[in-house]
Amino acid sequence: MKIAFIGLGNMGGGMAANLAQAGHEVRAFDLAPTALARAEEAGCTAFTSVREAVDGVDAVVSMLPNGKIVDSVYRTDVIGVAPVSALLLDCSTIDVATAKAVGEAACSAGYEAVDAPVSGGIAAANAGTLTFMVGGSDEAFARAEPILAIMSKAVIHAGGAGAGQAAKICNNMALGIHMIGTTEAFAMAQKLGLDPQRFYEIISVSSGQSWSVTSYCPVPGVGPQSPADNGYKPGFAGALMLKDLGLAMEAAGTAGIDAEMGKRAFELYSAWVAAGNGDVDFSGIIQSL
Nearer to ligand NAD, 52 or 208 (CB): 52
Closest-CB residue for ligand NAD?
A: 9
How far apart CA 212 and CA 61 sit, in angstroms, is: 29
Q: Which of 46, 57, 73, 79 binds ligand NAD (CB under 6 A)?
A: 73
Q: How many CB atoms lie within 10 A of CB 86?
A: 23
Residue 137 has φ and ψ, to the nearest 5°, of: -70, 165
Q: How far is the CB of 244 from ligand NAD (least distance, A)?
A: 7
168 counts as catalytic: yes
Q: Is 169 in the site for ligand NAD (CB under 6 A)?
A: no
Q: How far is the CB of 132 from ligand NAD (least distance, A)?
A: 11
Complete DSSP assignment for 191-250: HTT--HHHHHHHHTTSTT--HHHHTS-SSTTSSSS-GGGGTT--SSBHHHHHHHHHHHHH
Residues in region 105-124 near ligand NAD by CB under 6 A: 118, 121-122
The residue from 68, 153, 168, 233 that is catalytic is 168
Residue 91 has φ and ψ, to the nearest 5°, of: -105, 0
Q: Is 7 in the site for ligand NAD (CB under 6 A)?
A: yes
Q: How many CB atoms lie within 10 A of CB 99?
A: 30
Q: Is 181 in the site for ligand NAD (CB under 6 A)?
A: no
Are 251 and 95 contacting, i.e. CB atoms less than 8 angstroms apart? Answer: yes
Q: Which of 25, 55, 65, 270 binds ligand NAD (CB under 6 A)?
A: 65
DSSP H or E stretch at residue 114? strand 112-115
Q: Is 46 in the site for ligand NAD (CB under 6 A)?
A: no
* Distinct helix (H) and strand (E) counts, the chain: 12, 9
Q: Is 10 in the site for ligand NAD (CB under 6 A)?
A: yes
How far apart CA 125 and CA 150 sit, in angstroms, is: 11
Q: Is 12 in the site for ligand NAD (CB under 6 A)?
A: yes
Q: How far is the CB of 87 from ligand NAD (least distance, A)?
A: 19
Query: By the criterion CB under 6 A, which residues form the site for ligand NAD?
Result: 6-12, 29-32, 35, 63-65, 69, 73, 92-93, 118, 121-122, 236, 240
Active site positions, annotated: 168
